[in-house]
Amino acid sequence: MDRYAVIGHPVSHSKSPFIHTLFARQTFQQMTYEALDLPEDRFVEGINVLFANGLRGCNVTVPFKQEAYHYAQQLTERAKLAQAVNTLKVTDDGIILGDNTDGAGLLADLKLEFGGLENQKILLVGAGGAARGVLGPLLKANPAQVVICNRTPAKAKALADQFSDYGHVDYSLIEALDESFDLIINATSASLSGHALALPDALIHHKICCYDMMYMSGLTPFNQWAKNLGARQVLDGVGMLVSQAAESFAIWRGLRPGTRSVINELRRNLRT
């Protein structure tokens, strides 16, 4: 039976084993999937042992995505662009392939829940690894513009400059933002600590959609803020989590599982 895992530190909270167990059941795959915690300073040593003992592939989460990027022997174009890897696979010829499915997961969920991004004006909040992982795929979806804002403006500018060849991307000071956006994506981890973002209330209007890449059992603080101000739609990262997992599953197993039923099951699981 083929063995897969999610690697992180900490990782016991991960919903990936729940998700991939449902995918395997749905597609009749003979495989196991578990959460494995590696010490922060022993990623390479630990992953070498796992692959030597027959691990066929793994997801990689905080804090190892950049280490996985350097560990992989071959990289997909989207992994190179993100400069981070969340999926490793042992190919048929024994090469360790590194990929990044975060952007594909976000776009799949947005397509399902929001619609196409073509000609939309998008505000991306945050300039860290999560933002970097989705910016390339967002720009490839042909929005009218992506504007990046961050508590540290220099980081937003650096990210915009790096991706300037891939589409219309700019940066802005938070205090200069206005109500012209169709979609706001929160790529920060503020919601996990229960903090709302210091964004202008004027951003929110009755046509806007707000998407938090984080998730919890109820509304995230970001989505609660947007809903209170009258946003048309608020979405969290559950759909993105399941969709990026489906992309990883397809890389490993060569077939793509359905996501809708798994998203519903995960939401029920989060409420219990």
Q: Which residues are catalytic?
A: 65
Q: Is 115 annotated as a binding residue?
A: no
> Is 57 within any annotated ligand binding site?
no
Residue 207 marked ligand-binding: no
Cα–Cα dist 118/127, whole Å: 22
Flag whether 158 is marked binding: no
The answer to whether 94 is a known ligand-binding residue is no
**Residue 155 counted as an annotated binding residue:** yes
Distance separating alpha carbons of residues 190 and 200, to the nearest angstrom: 16
Q: Is 153 annotated as a binding residue?
A: yes
Determine whether the annotation assigns residue 226 to a binding site. Answer: no
Across the beta sheet with 31-37, the strand order is 31-37, 2-8, 55-60, 87-90, 96-99, 74-75
Angle of CA points 73, 74, 77, to nearest 5°: 150
Q: Is 152 annotated as a binding residue?
A: yes
Report the alpha-carbon distance of residue 241 to residue 19 in Å, rounded: 9
237 is annotated as contributing to ligand binding: yes
Tell me how far apart the alpha carbons of residues 189 and 220 are, in angstroms, rounded to a whole number.
11
220 labeled binding residue: no
Please state the length of the chain. 272
CB 85 within 8 A of CB 98: yes
| Phi, psi angles (nearest 5°) of residue 33 | -150, 125
Task: Tell whether the torsion through CA atoms of 19, 25, 28 and 30 is positive or negative.
Answer: positive
| Six token digits for residue 17 | 């084993």
165 is in an annotated binding site: no
Q: Is 128 annotated as a binding residue?
A: yes
Annotated binding site for shikimate: 14-16, 61, 86, 102, 215, 244
Annotated binding site for NADP(+): 77, 126-130, 150-155, 213, 237
Annotated binding site: 14-16, 61, 77, 86, 102, 126-130, 150-155, 213, 215, 237, 244
